Amino acid sequence: MRAKAPRDGTGVPTTAPLVPRTESELTMDLGVRWRLHGDGRTPAPGAVVRPDERLSWPRTFGLGAQHVVAMFGASFVAPDVHR
């Protein structure tokens, strides 16, 4: 029988144990409360980047730009195709 993954209290399996963090560890220069996930470059297979974590800034910006393009396509381009 396979062991169950630990859960974070919301019912979502986690890949790492929850570690209490101090306010100074969570707060960056601009008051953004994200900490770097792992090395910030490559998440481990099956790992989840939690809401209080981020990847390196170039990767975060790249994923944000991809999200903007995808949402633009879903909002403006795709509805015109189905008319």
List pLDDT tens digits, range 2-57.
555 555 555 555 555 556 555 555 554 556 678 899 898 988 899 999 988 999 99
Whether 18 maps to a domain, the answer reads: no
What local confidence, expressed as pLDDT, does residue 28 receive? Answer: 47
Overall domain count for the chain: 1
What local confidence, expressed as pLDDT, does residue 47 receive? Answer: 92
What local confidence, expressed as pLDDT, does residue 33 receive? Answer: 77
What local confidence, expressed as pLDDT, does residue 59 receive? Answer: 92
Strand intervals (E) in 24-78: 35-36, 53-54
Report the distance separating Cα 55 and Cα 5, nearest Å: 23
Report the distance separating Cα 72 and Cα 37, nearest Å: 28
What local confidence, expressed as pLDDT, does residue 64 receive? Answer: 94
Whether 4 maps to a domain, the answer reads: no
Residue 53: give the domain boundaries.
Answer: 23-81
Whether 72 maps to a domain, the answer reads: yes
